[in-house]
Structure 1
């Protein structure tokens, strides 16, 4: 981990500074960018965008591979382990196809990432065959990692029960001496995705000829700009949502205009006229649709008319009958004597009240009589007598007053609902009802007359008939409106609600558009700055790998943004002429280009992984590129642990020939998927070691052992001869392709030795003479015995043959050494 003083500023801090420095950015645009980036107005990240906690080991610097143990997985049966030097350096894991070497690579990738890119996009058969056929019941993969820091050791393991599927493993991590715990996938996944240290053969081509956006996204994320991509996507999504709402509102408005224009309704015509402007008056539309009091002729006014009511006939009849009865009773009681007695009674009651109030006094009427106590007693008796005589008349008058009060309270004033003229529809004429209701309402102010009961009955009947006829027409009009207007009203209301929201969001849409444009521009600038060092590394790798290729790699540029076509532009020239990269490159060149793009990603300084694991990078590469690959891998290995799996001997041969520092591990597979790993020497030494092992194997029959030993000796001579030939011819300036062609043309052992000793122009028939001249007769005899020993008896034992062969290959090696180096050795 870099010291705190050297830690790169947070991306949000960089963006905040650039926003502040840009005078064209408004506060609203700045806030929109920071919110999309996961920040607040005060630049502090919100919890919604906080990253998952990092794995304990990946927070330290320098995570190396130490051991890969595999049991019951792919080509490995009983447990086998691949032990690697845990530090910077180049390790080649070699072995023939089917030896199990790739099983180690796939196992390491699976246990650390949970997947395997080699299987991606393939049929299920690739995943179904993950268990070893010979010993796959208790499958287990264990990966030992080593790093600096407190938690320096970590073991990650996957183990499967006998009947478990590939995805049903027990996945654990262990920091010794702690007990194993469940592997924290979420903590490791972001780092592994960003700095992925694994590269399989199938990925080499996919890096270049896969989906253009995949490589773009991978590099964009590596540059630390994935947050900007996410922010752009958030802003873009919001913009699209707002623009979609605008488009939908506009389209629905046009459809409503068409629908309203086809309706023969005054309000439909008015609403359609309001909707025609590009920016309709939403308040006016709302008022029209909601049918406010400003339009009593609308459905609400019509429904109010339909709800009007008057007293029933029965109610009116009761009131009129009571009124008639009370009037008749008053007429019967109103005789001349009764009227006179009533007047006297009223006079006496007033005089009595006068006496009670003032005491005895002269009569206020005649002035002669005295209103004393005697008068008071006589007057009280007279009042009682008179009241009894006029009781019928007073009762009739009181009943008539009550009946009249009830009758005049029955009519209501003319309701406002009838005041819709002249705006009422033609089918709704309220004039007759208003006139009838006015006459009915006038009965509230009348005095009693003998014809009043009949007036109540007649006026009510006229009003009831007129109102019934009006309401019948009103209901018909409402039914008509329900057929043509009612289905449109909910649509208009729904559009109006959306249109109001669109209008309210219009400032936000303008802000979001400006924020998206600014963020696109800022992203392009930042990625250009951060891409420069990666581009330099990629071009160095390509320059080292191209080796005689006439394709020159120029700038590497990222084109596009979130939501648009994204791709990586590779500027190439072919013989100094601009060309399209993929169209002119061979398969080997495409793989070299893929490696050029992988290594800068996997070896950036910020990556916590100090190892890269590459499976089969040599395939399809011509010999010249193999030399370049060896130099690149050796250079990367100065600071990284580089582990390369290959069945191609050319990479190991190039490493030996160029004297590059490397560890070579050989994987061998025996019967029933028994896999062994051993440190490998050069092929010559390996053949001689095998020959010695055969001599020391008493179980082998003598004849078979002799034949096998002689075969190993001959193979050692051929390997030494080819190594000398390749070294000499390359030193003479011959290109790799021609060297390989010459080597392939040398079919026999003697032809290979002749090419190594005599060069391209030498002839096999002249080989013995050349060898005698160079070193002496013993060289000829040693070559003869090694060549013929597997077919005919020779004049020495197998131990002597091994010694002769060892001396012969040593002589070849000395002759292959440049003169200056030989002089120094002597």
Structure 2
């Protein structure tokens, strides 16, 4: 049992301490890092995973791949090594693929291949009701767990009913979200196709898998958040710069003073945004701008009919005044005016001397006489007085028609140059001058003429103004919203400039901190990987050094494997054989799959022996046996060398043999060593009465001979390897031993022994019975021998027992 480790501090705590300890970190940078990290921790996550200590108990398969009627692979549910052996096509890999499919919903062996690899997923002989069921044993209050996938007869591969069940509870829908994260992080399955892909696949895939396994995925998410914010801010800067350049290009083609002014303001790399804003806003209020021009268009004048009516009235009143004005009437008006003033003086003062001549009194009698005179004179000059009053009213009406020159016309006629208001302003000034003119006989005609000229001039300038507005609508006006939009974005960019600087510093700091934490947490995994490689490599000249993760989120990412070949540095992929690459892949897989935090206490490896030379097979057996002390290790292989190495090195293992009969009937049985299997088969043949005697005798003798050969090769490997001979040399000598007697000679006499001296050596070592047992086991398949088959089995068993000593 491993000692309880101290609880691993949360990444937020680790990062907070490092931020506080770094004197170069400003408060704004620290806030940016922690905010991003807090967001990463608060992201939506998969449901909590509460199962742990998961072991495999059984895999039951029906109608899937090479398995027709239901077959069951029972596994010891606990730490230990289990080898599932069988020839190619026996159905053993169907168990492995079925388990992977029921856990993950996919199969790495099919990934990236054509649809034909998935089309044959149903068994050809009995695939109508396909079902996969994996029985698990877990820790906790509900230790039994079953995960199953079942397909209807017409369903495609993705259309399965996927359930999980804690007996005796009812099955429920498989919660993929709950399982997916753990299966990705601590994936316990390794197929042959993945062995090479772990090393020579996409460099970023292995990086991401290891980085996530180190528990740094929150840092990756935080770093990605900061990176995306930096890219967003930088993109805004680039877009603003590019839009400014495009605006400059468009403005330079516009012949307008406003465009010229805005162009000069936009030309610097860092434009004065306030000045640009004032200039753009000014285009709306500028009298020479569109608003001022539209005000000119809105100017109106009295109609010709209104002016004609006032002029006619003036003329009529003037004629009436002329006709009513005579010398007598004028004298009467003067006397009348004098009398009225004297009467007003009397009313104010009362009786008094005449203020003009000083003679006579202005008394009541005078007042009565004067009132009578005033009445008489007023009646006589009434026509003239009325004419004058009406003329005065007509003049007021005429003077109310014109107005001062409107401010809409009061701007520099040079801007815009196409709208010249000087003529209309002069005409309007002439028209306005009529407000102070006295009545003359020509006033009505002057009024009509000034109005006519003003109407013509205003119409002309309004026509030009409309044309100018049309021109601005085509070139300048569409640019104004673009300038305003750019200005808003540029102001935002300027406001975010400090944030961009902070984000860049935060990103750099987090990259450095992540690399440091990554190195610290990678050390134990690297140690395990190097131990696995050291054990596996067995006579390889390649030495594995440091394993380093290079890169960060958003950049090129890869795992650097430092190797040396005979103490000379080299590149891993360039110097390793296929078998060495597979061994390296296994070295990277096992530390990932067996970390203490994984809820899966099993690993399932399919065909790891391929491309490995004999020495590495021995190393593989040792590695698997060591891992099996704390994990359930299930290995599928058609290569007998791994099982042979396990037996020879006396490593604890359960060996299960998968056999396939006609119509995809698959059977699993506990396998003993080959010698015992051959002898068991021989006894079964003896007990089979249906076989003709001659055929039975031939088959029994063949099994006995095979048992002798297997025992001889086992002893030869054990003895020669113990003497220090390397695996390649051992296999060369074994391959050279073609006959049964040659194999026995190699086992008991060694490399220098001769087959011709075998009998003499056997008699000297053990006695005559050994020679006779070997003779009968060798010849019994071809010629009759002098003993029964049961006795031959007994003697063969005695012979192989002697070889095993």
Query: Shorter chain as normaliser: what TM range?
Result: over 0.9
8 Å CA contact 1:363, 1:369 repeated in 2: no
SS at match of 1:6: coil
After superposition, the Cα gap between the structure-2 partners of 1:443 and 1:781, relative to the gap in structure 1 and judged at 3 Å, is same
Residue correspondence of structure 1 range 393-542 to structure 2 within 5 A: 400-421=391-412, 423-482=414-473, 484-486=475-477, 488-542=479-533
2:16 is aligned to 16
After superposition, the Cα gap between the structure-2 partners of 1:552 and 1:423, relative to the gap in structure 1 and judged at 3 Å, is same
SS at match of 1:234: helix
Distance 1:570 1:406 in 2: 105
What is the TM-score with the length of structure 2 in the denominator? 0.92
Aligned partner of 2:616 among 625, 628, 634: 625
SS at match of 1:15: helix
- Tell me by how many angstroms 1:512 deviates: 1.0
8 Å CA contact 1:363, 1:371 repeated in 2: no
1:242 is aligned to 233
Distance 2:421 2:641 in 1: 107
8 Å CA contact 1:362, 1:371 repeated in 2: no
Between 1:781-790 and 1:109-118, the stretch displaced more is: 781-790
1:27 is aligned to 27
1:696 is aligned to 687
After superposition, the Cα gap between the structure-2 partners of 1:317 and 1:645, relative to the gap in structure 1 and judged at 3 Å, is same
Aligned partner of 1:310 among 301, 308, 332: 301
8 Å CA contact 2:84, 2:635 repeated in 1: yes
Aligned partner of 1:56 among 24, 27, 50: 50
Distance 2:220 2:712 in 1: 57
Between 1:704-713 and 1:185-194, the stretch displaced more is: 704-713
Distance 1:689 1:173 in 2: 41
Aligned partner of 2:739 among 743, 748, 755: 748
Whether 2:259 is the aligned partner of 1:275: answer: no
2:217 is aligned to 226
For structure 1, the residue ranges without an aligned partner over 5 or more in a row are 40-44, 815-826
Aligned partner of 1:207 among 198, 218, 234: 198
Residue correspondence of structure 1 range 64-83 to structure 2 within 5 A: 64-83=55-74
- Tell me by how many angstroms 1:349 deviates: 10
Distance 1:342 1:640 in 2: 138
After superposition, the Cα gap between the structure-2 partners of 1:138 and 1:445, relative to the gap in structure 1 and judged at 3 Å, is farther
Distance 2:84 2:121 in 1: 21
- Tell me by how many angstroms 1:302 deviates: 3.5
Distance 1:433 1:4 in 2: 99
Between 1:571-580 and 1:800-809, the stretch displaced more is: 800-809
SS at match of 1:733: coil
1:369 is aligned to 364
Deviations 1:258-310 (A, max 9, x none): 44334443333322222221111122223333444775334443443344333
Residue correspondence of structure 1 range 606-685 to structure 2 within 5 A: 606-685=597-676
SS at match of 1:69: strand
Deviations 1:59-113 (A, max 9, x none): x3x1111111111111111111111111111111111111111111111111111
Between 1:239-248 and 1:68-77, the stretch displaced more is: 239-248
After superposition, the Cα gap between the structure-2 partners of 1:213 and 1:316, relative to the gap in structure 1 and judged at 3 Å, is same
Between 1:461-470 and 1:776-785, the stretch displaced more is: 461-470
- Tell me by how many angstroms 1:687 deviates: 1.2
Distance 1:81 1:400 in 2: 127
- Tell me by how many angstroms 1:550 deviates: 0.7
1:591 is aligned to 582
8 Å CA contact 2:413, 2:420 repeated in 1: no
Aligned partner of 2:785 among 794, 798, 810: 794
After superposition, the Cα gap between the structure-2 partners of 1:406 and 1:30, relative to the gap in structure 1 and judged at 3 Å, is farther
After superposition, the Cα gap between the structure-2 partners of 1:700 and 1:352, relative to the gap in structure 1 and judged at 3 Å, is farther
Deviations 1:324-383 (A, max 9, x none): 34444555666788889999999999999999x99xx979996443799xx89x989x97
Residue correspondence of structure 1 range 259-270 to structure 2 within 5 A: 259-270=250-261
Between 1:301-310 and 1:640-649, the stretch displaced more is: 301-310
1:730 is aligned to 721
8 Å CA contact 1:291, 1:299 repeated in 2: no
SS at match of 2:561: strand
8 Å CA contact 2:258, 2:283 repeated in 1: no
Between 1:139-148 and 1:396-405, the stretch displaced more is: 396-405
Distance 2:62 2:341 in 1: 132
CA-based RMSD: 3.2
Distance 1:778 1:393 in 2: 177
Residue correspondence of structure 1 range 550-561 to structure 2 within 5 A: 550-561=541-552
SS at match of 1:75: coil
1:568 is aligned to 559
Distance 1:107 1:694 in 2: 35
Distance 2:34 2:505 in 1: 13
8 Å CA contact 1:111, 1:156 repeated in 2: yes
Number of aligned residue pairs: 799
What is the TM-score with the length of structure 1 in the denominator? 0.90
After superposition, the Cα gap between the structure-2 partners of 1:804 and 1:396, relative to the gap in structure 1 and judged at 3 Å, is farther
Distance 2:423 2:700 in 1: 132
- Tell me by how many angstroms 1:618 deviates: 0.5
8 Å CA contact 2:708, 2:800 repeated in 1: yes
